[in-house]
Amino acid sequence: MAEFLRLKKSNCKNCSKCIRHCPVKSIRFSGNQAHIIGNECILCGQCFVVCPQNAKEIADGIETAKVLIDSGAPVYASIAPSFIANYDNVGIDNLRDALVQLGFVGAEETAVGATIVKKEYERILSEGTRDVVISSCCHSINLLIQKYYPHLLPYLADVKSPMQVHAEWIKEVSPDAKVVFIGPCVAKKDEAERYGAVDAVLTFEELANWIKAENIVIKPGKDTTKESLARFFPTTGGILKTMTERNPRYQYHAIDGVENCIAALEDIAKGKIHNCFIEMSACAGSCVGGPVMEKYHNSPVRNLLDVFDYAGDEDFPVEHPEGLLLSKEFEMIDKKISRPSEREIMDTLRKMGKIKPEDELNCGSCGYKTCREKAVAIIQGKADVSTCLPYLREKAESLSDNIMTNSPNGIILLNENLEIQKINNVALSIVNMRNAADLMGEPVVRILDPSDFLRVMTSGKEIKEQKVYLAEYNKYVEQSISYDKNYHTLLCILRDITDVEIAREHRENINRQTIETADKVVEKQMRIVQEIASLLGETAAETKIALTKLKESIDE
């Protein structure tokens, strides 16, 4: 299958919303980004619709259409009947005029092909030889059955879709023609490639971009005709509404939404449904709720009213050309995916922290309905253990509790109202408290001076290893305070340095006493030296006098 729906990696932010909405879980996560698994995807387009980052994109068919037009061959547009819900107050005539300006030879409603298809459904049901018949207009439903319920292929009506039939009808009338289908469905791009007949497929969004680029304005105004009953096809139950001939042997039902269709297929597989014609549509509201309606609007009632106002009550006057074949074979499409063993599933569940059956919460937050489905996805390489939110929460809480319990430092967590949210045993010991429960939700002023916390919260500047004396508790601590604006929390870490401070004070006292003793010894020694010096000075003076007198006597 060509890559008609792909991921823009730069935009994907690992939000997992696409996997939660994917009905067949055909998305895997690698490198914190989503990847569409082509051989499992049914191209319902839900991931494209729900992606909040616009990370999913649809392969553009505009260049292909331009090449067809430039080739010189007559190119016709086949317009899906849901166009009336996509363009406000615009009928087929005015839309055709705009397409002709783009280079198309003409434009016709795909509803013409739908008229032929519904007559073929009526013919099959009139024979009454089949038990259950499922409509085959929706390619996403066809892919769902081909990939996930191949044993139910005999129930799928072997009839081409209105898109194929209309394209072949155009080419019967104009053998050299090329056909470009325009509609609200990404799956039609795959259908055109698989089965031919249609040469290119555009979405309503692509057409809008092309028209805008060429500065073409679609004129308002609706044309009406009573020969347009098949315009009901894009609504839930629209096929049934067009079927004027019904076999009383059958019950006729319409189902929309992939989940509802899967439930019906499960019942068919279990033999709970018989003698039914079931119209199935992948999109809620059928084609008017398609994933690429150009305006991205969700107005189911208004869309229905637009279709009801535009549709007539008679069939299009179209004949079935002799050369037009309506039958179509649907083959099983191998997804190439194996089911893991029970042992592998149990081992993976244990890795997810699901040790006991009651641990399997089946909350669906990861995108899978059950923990077992998630385990299977992990084994198949689609998912990672880390996308289990309860597991991550328990792991984070366990890590947090482990840090709080085993940290040698006191830890206190406050909210912006300076109320205690968490406190560990070391902090309790520092402030002479026994039970954390006595402090939960209480103002921090009950145990500590709040001024430092207020200063940090106001200035945004954290305090690192500030030495504080807690006089009330006769303790010294190194206090670090930080403020997280995003999570509106204050974190206080207290390191008890009381013993260190007492030892330091003891050393300082000893040093001071030693210095005082030394000073006293030095002072005493200096005093003795001074006394000795004084005595020596007197003796020297007396000696000098005696010698002087002796010298004078000798001279005389």
298-310 pLDDT, tens digit each? 677 888 888 888 8
**pLDDT: which is higher, 186 or 342:** 186
pLDDT band, very low/low/confident/very high, at 28 (cuts 50, 70, 90): confident
What's the rounded Cα separation, in Å, for the pair 288 and 184?
A: 8
Region 254-283: mean pLDDT is: 94
Main-chain dihedrals φ then ψ at residue 482, nearest 5 degrees: -130, 155
| Domain count along the chain | 4
Residue 122's CATH number: 3.40.50
Bridge partners (DSSP) of residue 201 are 181
Q: Look at 120-129, 399-408, 450-459 and tell me which has the smallest mean pLDDT.
A: 399-408
Q: Which two tokens stand for residue 178?
A: 């090329």
pLDDT at 10 over 70: no
Indicate whether this model's pTM tops 0.85. no
- And the tokens for 389? 């939110």
> Does residue 295 register a pLDDT over 60?
no
Question: CB-based contacts of 407: which residues, under 8 Å, 6+ apart?
Answer: 424, 426
Do 224 and 284 fall within a single domain? yes
Strands (E), 388-474: 410-415, 420-423, 463-470
303/387 same-domain check:
no
Shared domain check, 432 and 383: no
Domain interval for residue 394: 338-406
Instruction: Please tell me which residue, 316 or 519, carries the higher pLDDT value.
Output: 316
Average pLDDT rounded to a whole number, residues 332-341? 75
Residues 386 and 428 in one domain: no
**Does one domain contain both 154 and 105?**
yes
pLDDT average, residue stretch 185-193: 91
**What was the pLDDT predicted at 385?**
65
Between 317 and 294, the more confident residue is: 317
- pLDDT value at position 533? 73
In a domain, 528, yes or no: yes
Q: How far apart are CA 51 and CA 55, in angstroms?
A: 7
Cβ atoms of 215 and 209 closer than 8 Å? no
Mark which of 406, 425, 444 sits at the end of a domain. Answer: 406
Name which of 4, 25, 45, 23 is nearest 290 in CA terms: 45
pLDDT of res. 22: 85
Last residue of a domain, one of 357, 389, 406: 406
323 located within any domain: no
Phi-psi region of 123 (alpha: psi -120 to 50; beta: other; left: phi over 0): alpha
CATH number at residue 491: 3.30.450.20
Asked whether the predicted pLDDT for residue 490 surpasses 90, the reply is: yes
The Cα–Cα gap between 379 and 144 comes to 22
The whole-angstrom separation of Cα 536 and Cα 550 is: 21
What pLDDT does residue 258 have? 92
How far apart are the C-alpha atoms of 421 and 402, rounded to whole Å?
A: 16
Tell me whether residue 85 is in a domain.
yes
Q: Is residue 41 situated within a structural domain? A: no
What does the angle CA 129 – CA 135 – CA 140 come to, to the nearest 5 degrees? 145
CA angle 225, 134, 6 (to 5 degrees): 85
Mean pLDDT score of the chain: 85
* Predicted local confidence at residue 336, as pLDDT: 66
- What's the pLDDT at 14? 64
* Amino acid letter, residue 330: F
CB-count exposure of residue 70 (10 Å: 0-12, 13-18, 19+):
exposed
The predicted model gives 474-488 an average pLDDT of: 91
pLDDT digits 0-9 by tens, 359-376: 776 666 666 777 777 777
Q: Do 395 and 532 fall within a single domain?
A: no
Q: State residue 136's pLDDT score.
A: 93
pLDDT(547) > 90: no
At 54 the pLDDT is 74
Q: Rg of the Cα trace of the chain?
A: 43
**119 and 234: one domain?**
yes
Q: Domain check: are 388 and 402 in the same one?
A: yes
Q: Look at residue 378 in the predicted model and tell me its pLDDT.
A: 72
Helix H or strand E encompassing 203: strand 200-203
| Domain at 350, CATH number | 1.10.15
From the list 137, 124, 127, 130, the residue with the least C-alpha distance to 152 is: 130
Interaxial angle between packed helices 139-148 and 258-269, expressed in degrees from 0 to 180 and rounded to the nearest 10:
40
The DSSP output letter for 289 is: G
| In the predicted structure, residue 33 carries a pLDDT above the cut 90 | no
Q: Do 106 and 247 belong together in one domain?
A: yes
- Of the three residues 377, 406, 435, the one that is the final residue of a domain is 406
Q: Alpha carbon 243 to chain centroid distance?
A: 41
Helices (H), 272-341: 300-310
User: Rounded to the nearest 10 degrees, how much is the dihedral formed by the CA atoms of 444, 446, 451, 453?
Assistant: -10
- Does residue 361 sit in the same domain as residue 395? yes
* Domain match, 537 and 395 both: no
Please state, in angstroms and rounded to a whole number, the distance separating the CA atoms of residues 344 and 338.
12
Q: Can you point out the beta strands (E) in 287-349?
A: none
* Residue 495 in this model has a pLDDT that exceeds 60: yes
- Residue 368 CB-density burial (10 A; 0-12 exposed, 13-18 middle, 19+ buried): buried
The share of the chain scoring above pLDDT 70, in percent, equals: 89
The single residue listed with the structure tokens 């008229």 is: 115
| Lowest-pLDDT choice from 76-85, 182-191, 232-241, 353-362 | 353-362
Judged against a pLDDT cut of 90, whether residue 166 lies above it is answered with yes
What's the CA gap between 445 and 418, in Å, rounded?
8
Q: How far apart are CA 258 and CA 240, in angstroms?
A: 19
Band (340; pLDDT cuts 50, 70, 90): confident
Domain shared by 279 and 302, yes or no: yes
Residue 323 DSSP label: T
CA distances 527 to 373, 510, 523, 530, 531, Å, are 96, 26, 6, 5, 6
Confidence of residue 63 (pLDDT cuts 50, 70, 90): very high
Percent of the chain scored above 90 by pLDDT? Answer: 45
pLDDT confidence of residue 121: 94
Sign of CA dihedral 95, 96, 97, 102: positive
In a domain? residue 236: yes
> Which CA distances in Å does 266 have to 145, 152, 250, 412?
11, 10, 19, 55
| pLDDT at res. 210 | 93
